[in-house]
Amino acid sequence: MKMTIMLMVWAFLLTHGIAFAHGGEKHGTNHSDAQMDRFHKMMPMYAQVQAKINEALEKGDTSAVEAEAEKILATIPDLKKSKPHKNLKKIATFKKIADAFGADVTATAGMAKKGDLAGARTSFRKAEERCNECHAKFRD
Ligand code: HEC
């Protein structure tokens, strides 16, 4: 008898607990919908820019490298405000990687501006490693 009541209480808490948690989660996503939207548009843009930078590096077109790198740089403040779906509790690491990524892309643009093709290439390789590092930890 005692056991049955305990089970019923437990079942009640479980279903309502889930309902509460779900409500909270939905509320949270509503708040950051616009941010999430920008984050989801950012990534395919990054992939396009990555292809263009690599093409420009191949051709030795440093001004194109710089112009493309600037497109990523314009999004870095937004990237740092974004939240991944996966591993959200490690948001500090996410921000750290985003910072390092921003620094590598800044270096890429700076080298390209100086006409230092080898330097730009080295910096952009580092930036690409950040893409992979972040995806390994935070992409579903
Ligand atoms: C600070 C973290 C971080 C960095 C840096 C990062 N990404 Fe992402 N990327 C993510 C996350 C998280 C997702 C999964 C999106 C989600 O949670 O819905 C993602 C998804 C993607 C996707 C899939 C797009 C989609 O619509 O799902 C592509 C393509 C992509 N990233 C490309 C890149 C490229 C290229 C770079 C580097 C030039 C890069 N990303 C740098 C975190 C990052």
Pick the more confident residue, 129 or 35: 129
3-state secondary structure of 2: helix
Residue pLDDT, tens place only, 112-137 = 999 999 999 999 999 999 999 999 99
CA 57 to ligand 1 centroid distance, Å: 22
CA 28 to ligand 1 centroid distance, Å: 21
Which of 43, 34, 139, 134 lies closest to 85, judged by CA? 139
Q: Which CATH superfamily is domain 33-138 in?
A: Cytochrome c/b562 (1.20.120.10)
Which of 35, 47, 124 lies closest to 79, judged by CA? 35
Ligand 1 atom 2 nearest Cα: 134
Q: Which of 5-9, 13-17, 57-61 has the highest mean pLDDT?
A: 57-61
Pull the structure tokens for residue 61.
Answer: 């077109």
Q: How many CA atoms lie within 13 A of 45 on its CB side?
A: 16
Q: Is 124 in the pocket of ligand 1 (CB under 6 A)?
A: no
Pick the more confident residue, 77 or 24: 77
State the CB neighbour count (10 A cutoff) for residue 69.
28
128 close to 72: Cβ distance less than 8 angstroms: no
Task: Report the C-alpha gap between 37 and 73 in whole angstroms.
Answer: 18
Banded pLDDT at 34 (limits 50, 70, 90): confident
Burial of 16 (0-12, 13-18, 19+ CB in 10 A): exposed
Which atom of ligand 1 is closest in space to residue 39's alpha carbon? 15
Q: Is 122 in the pocket of ligand 1 (CB under 6 A)?
A: no
Q: How many CA atoms lie within 13 A of 41 on its CB side?
A: 9
